[in-house]
Each structure stands twice: as C-alpha cells, then as structure tokens.
C-alpha cells in the first residue's frame, strides 16, 4: 500500500554524519559521499582515531502531515539526529533540506527565524520556567516572535484549550503533575504554530497511565493540526500507536525504515526483530495485510474496512465463517477468511525468526 503522506516531503535528511572529535571535517575533505564498504572503512578509521561517529551517512524523508518515529537503544544516534535536524547539534557532513532549502547553509539570523516560526521542540525534561505561570510559560516563545500582547493572549488561550489545561492558567509548574507539566511544554511548542515538530522521548518520564493518556492527547492534537512530526522513542509499543513510518538506528546507522507492520513482518535483522518480539501480530496486521486479493467477495457478505485491525476481525470471523469482504473507498478489494488470517500470522512468525527471507535494510 502506498504511504498516505508520500506526495510532499517536508524535511529531507541526506547522507548526514555527526562525528564527535577534533577536526571532524577532515574526514570529508573533497568527499561527496562515501558508499558501500567505504562507509564501514570510514567508521573504522574514525574510531581508530579516538573519535565517535554518532550519526553515520543517515538519509530519510519526512512527509507533510506524517508522524515519523526514530527508534533505537541508548547510544544508537536517535537523539543526535533530531538535534542535527534542528541544528542544536551541527552535522559534520551532509544536507538537511527543509522545504527544499538546505538548513546547513543558513546563517545564524536565518536559523533563529526558522526556529521561532517553523519549528517546535519538546524534550523529555519539561524545560518550564519555575517563576512563570502556565499561561506565561506558554506565551513566552510568542513574545520572542514579537507578537502583540493581545495576539499572545489569544494564541495562549487556544493552545491551553487544545491540551486540556483550562483552569490551570495561573498555576506554577510546582503545582502541576508530571503529565500537566508535559502538557504545558507541548502547548508552548504548539503556540508558535510550527510546520515541523520535534519530540524527543516526551513521555518517557511519565507514569504508564499518564503516558498512555498523553499519547491519546498527542494523537488527538495531531488529528486536528496534522503537523509534520519527528518523534523519538525507545518504546516500540508507543511507536506502534503513533507512527506512520519508523526508522530503526544502531551505532549511528540506519538499520531499517518502514511502517510498523513492515518492520514486524519483515525485520531487516535480529536487532529489529528484538524490538518487535513482544508485539502480538494480531494487534498490528490490518485486513489488507491478511486478505486474499484473488478471491472475489460474494454478494451480501459482511464488509470490513481495509484498515481494520485483525484483532478486531476475529470475533466477526467467528460469526461469519464464510469470510469477510474487504473494502477500500467503498470498493471490494479482497476477502478475509480464517485460513488467510492463520496463514498471515504463521508467515509473520516465520519471517521474524528466519531473516534469510527478509528484504535488505532500507538506507
């Protein structure tokens, strides 16, 4: 199935490297792009020199309205990448194109203007100013934009309602729960009306119940605003709930890019498979993933949507042993049967253990 956001690229990361060490630029003198074995040899050389390759030839696109999740263990390079995208960390090499313009060629004044008007950032630490109220914390970035007091009040009131903090406008951070503090951080980021939103493990410090509530809130906000989002997490179940597409990183390198379903059914290697090992396939697979395309549904057969989760189809299959018609846009595209579901689930189990059957990692 084509990606629903594939038409317009918002930000493109092309062959980005970040090396921590003295004179990192020397590795790229006269070099356009190392490839294949050259990348491995270059990484080995960098490490032998005592430097750290935190991001290695990383390339990916984020489309308009897409939630793009970056995952990896600690030290994999995921947080380094999101900081490179915003130039909080300066890449050592490569291109980062925002609306087709290379951010790495922007001067300091241009970059400040982009951050103030086009980018929003939310991090694990809430970053609230303790001496300011909720409303004051949210309006602070608006004051940096030079908006009038009335404009600041109007935008602040709108995002306070959006994140469900009505009645807490005059509260100070110390008077709020962790979830409420995170909502203030999200509201402050949204107040600038960013086109591109970076979130680096924003919910990982929260209790499980509050974290689930914040994920729901995040998805509700996204359904309304349709931002282009880069979301960092180490929790695959969290990624499964929110991601349109995902990128798995290891040792600064891209291991695989795809939808959550693609990563679960066809992991590029054991590293990716380990991330997905605890996820029940029935929660991930959709009707379109398990249907028999060559089988035409019978007239009057019960219909299900192509995006319905297999887990939700099981009870319907129990009541309709002849199968279910899968429709997309009102038109039938195939049929789900008990056999087709069992075959898909068994195929998924085989693919996650036999990596000789899987495609190459996407870079």
Beta bridge partners of 286: 309
- pLDDT tens, residue by residue, 65-96: 999 999 998 889 999 999 999 999 999 999 99
pLDDT of residue 350: 38
Q: Which one, of 240, 190, 187, lies nearest residue 212 by Cα?
A: 240
Q: Are residues 301 and 223 in the same domain?
A: no
> What is the C-alpha separation between 196 and 191, in angstroms, rounded?
13
Q: Are residues 96 and 231 in the same domain?
A: yes
**Burial of 24 (C-beta count, 10 Å sphere; 0-12/13-18/19+):** buried
* Mean pLDDT value across residues 186-209: 84
pLDDT of residue 6: 59
What CATH number did the domain enclosing 134 receive? 3.40.50.300
- Residues 154/158/160/165 CA torsion (nearest 10 deg): 120
Out of 168-172, 177-181, 260-264, 348-352, pick the least confident.
Answer: 348-352
Share of the chain above pLDDT 70, in %: 91
- pLDDT tens, residue by residue, 224-241: 889 999 999 988 888 888
Q: Are residues 60 and 152 in the same domain?
A: yes
Q: How many structural domains does the chain have?
A: 2
**Strand, helix or coil for residue 333:** strand
Q: Are residues 169 and 257 in the same domain?
A: yes
> What is the C-alpha separation between 309 and 287, in angstroms, rounded?
6
- 2 in a structural domain: no
In this predicted structure, the answer to whether residue 353 has a pLDDT above a threshold of 70 is no
At which of 276, 309, 335 does a domain end?
276
What CATH number did the domain enclosing 351 receive? 3.90.1280.20
In this predicted structure, the answer to whether residue 354 has a pLDDT above a threshold of 60 is no
- 174 in a structural domain: yes
Please report, for residues 5, 6, 157, 227, 277, the alpha-carbon distance to residue 245 in angstroms, rounded to integers and kept in the order given.
10, 11, 32, 14, 18
Token pair for residue 164? 């469900």
Q: Which one, of 62, 14, 19, lies nearest residue 35 by Cα?
A: 14
Query: Which residues does 210 contact at the CB level (< 8 Å), separation at least 6?
Result: 177, 178, 179
Q: Are residues 78 and 98 in the same domain?
A: yes
At which of 257, 276, 295 does a domain end?
276
Q: Which one, of 53, 60, 185, lies nearest residue 128 by Cα?
A: 185
Query: Is the pTM higher than 0.85?
Result: no
């Amino acid at each position: 199935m084509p990606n629903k956001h594939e038409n317009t690229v918002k930000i493109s990361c092309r062959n980005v490297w970040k090396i921590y060490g003295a004179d990192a630029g020397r590795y790229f003198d006269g070099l356009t792009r190392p490839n294949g074995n050259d990348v491995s040899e270059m990484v080995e050389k960098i490490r032998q020199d005592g430097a750290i390759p935190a991001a290695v030839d990383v390339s990916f696109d984020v489309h308009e309205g897409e939630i793009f999740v970056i995952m990896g263990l600690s030290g994999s390079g995921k947080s380094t990448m999101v900081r490179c995208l915003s130039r909080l960390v300066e890449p050592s090499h490569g291109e980062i194109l925002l609306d087709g313009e290379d951010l790495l060629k922007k001067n300091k004044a241009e970059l400040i203007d982009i951050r103030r008007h086009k980018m929003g950032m939310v991090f694990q630490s809430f970053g609230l100013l303790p001496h300011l109220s909720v409303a004051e914390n949210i309006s602070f970035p608006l004051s940096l934009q030079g908006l009038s007091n009335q404009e600041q009040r109007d935008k602040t009131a709108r995002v306070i309602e959006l994140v469900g903090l009505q009645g807490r406008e005059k509260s100070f951070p110390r008077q709020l729960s962790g979830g409420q503090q995170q909502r203030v951080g999200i509201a402050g980021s949204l107040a600038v009306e960013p086109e591109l939103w970076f979130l680096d493990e924003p919910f990982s410090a929260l209790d499980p119940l509050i974290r689930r509530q914040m994920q729901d809130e995040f998805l509700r906000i996204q359904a309304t605003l349709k931002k282009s989002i880069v979301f960092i997490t180490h929790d695959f179940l969290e990624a499964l709930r929110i991601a349109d597409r995902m990128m798995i990183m290891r040792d600064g390198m891209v291991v695989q890019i795809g939808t959550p379903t693609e990563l679960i059914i066809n992991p590029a290697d054991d590293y990716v498979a380990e991330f997905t090992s605890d996820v029940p396939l029935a929660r991930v697979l959709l009707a379109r993933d398990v249907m028999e395309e060559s089988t035409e549904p019978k007239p009057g057969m019960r219909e299900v949507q192509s995006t319905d989760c297999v887990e939700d189809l099981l009870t319907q299959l129990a009541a309709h042993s002849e199968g279910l018609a899968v429709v997309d846009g009102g038109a039938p595209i195939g049929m789900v049967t008990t056999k087709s579901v069992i075959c898909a689930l068994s195929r998924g189990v085989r693919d996650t253990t036999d990596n000789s059957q899987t495609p190459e990692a996407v870079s």
